[in-house]
Structure 1
Amino acid sequence: MSNLLKRIKNERGSQLIEFLAVFPLIIFAFLLIWQMAMAAYTVVVSEAAARDGARVASVEGDYQTAVERSAYGLDVTSSLITGSSSYGKEVTVIVHAKMPMISIPFVGKLDYTIDADATIPVIEENDD
């Protein structure tokens, strides 16, 4: 009986059990931080791609190529809107970037799209 009481009071291996209980939370926190970093990266790159595309479109260049080169590594689509305001003619480039997602077990891949746009006045050439 005293041998059984000694084994019950023995705390050998308790640190391992505590670590195994906390380890999934550590992994989950790491994956959450990584996903937030990928979301921030997608936002920054898609906004920069929209600005680059709008700059190229303002001088009547190939804005789609500029957007794709600026957002290298992301799955992007872009569209162009021309219009006018009190400042004159302007172009707006809208970029839709698919955010890379971590595949979550039992849930699968989620699908999110980040939208960014930039408007720049059209630069008109003078025939002087």
Structure 2
Amino acid sequence: MRTRWFSYVNNERGTQALQFLGLFPLILLSMLIIWQVGLISYSVVVAEAAARDGARAASAHDDNWKEIAKNSAYGLEVEVSGGPGEDVATVKVKAKAPIISLPWIENMKFEFTADAVMPMEKKRE
């Protein structure tokens, strides 16, 4: 009986499967975190480009500068403010980054603001 018990205790079959099952949730979580960081980075780049495009249109005296900024930020929820001024056109884009839904993290939000300033061009007549 005692030798049989030691044969079960010293048997290492299946330990790799157990180690994988123990680490698999951590691997999944790390992949989701990397994906979320990528989504946030992409959103920041798109919002900055949208602010720059809106400021460029506003500095060229285009009346549709808000729509240009919103269309440039395709796929993001954005609020555009600012506009042409006397010397410069300032456009601010407030955006929300898409968030991966996880069951244990419900109300996570990531909002940020990107702005751009362009000098006003001379109005064509």
Same-fold call, TM cutoff 0.5? yes
Report the TM-score when normalising by structure 1.
Answer: 0.89
Structure 1: which amino acid aligns with 2:112?
A: I
What is residue 108 of structure 1 aligned with on the other side?
A: 106
- Contact 1:50–1:93 at 8 Å: present in 2 too? yes
**TM-superposed deviation, 1:83:** 4.2
Query: TM-score, normalization: structure 2?
Result: 0.91
List structure 1 segments (4+ residues) > 4 angstroms apart after TM superposition: 81-84
How far apart, in 1, do the equivalents of 2:60 and 2:84 lie? 12
- Per the alignment, residue 60 of structure 1 pairs with 61
Q: Is the 8 A contact 1:50 1:94 kept in 2?
A: yes
Tell me, yes or no, if the aligned pair for 1:42 and 1:114 is still in contact at 8 Å: no
What pairs with 1:80-91 in structure 2 (closer than 5 Å)?
A: 80-84=82-86, 89-91=87-89
Deviation by residue 1:60-105 (Cα, 9 ceiling, x = unmatched): 2211111111110111111015445xxxx11100001101111122
In structure 2, what residue type is equivalent to 1:34? W
Matched residues in 2 for 1:32 and 1:107: separation? 12
- Number of aligned residue pairs: 123
Structure 1, unpaired ranges of 5+? none
Q: Aligned to 2:123, which of 108, 122, 125?
A: 125
**Which residue number in structure 2 is paired with residue 46 of structure 1?**
47
Deviation at 1:20? 0.7
User: 1:106, 1:36 → 2: CA distance?
Assistant: 18
Give me the CA root mean square deviation: 1.4
- Percent identity of equivalent pairs: 42
Structure-2 residue corresponding to 1:92: 90
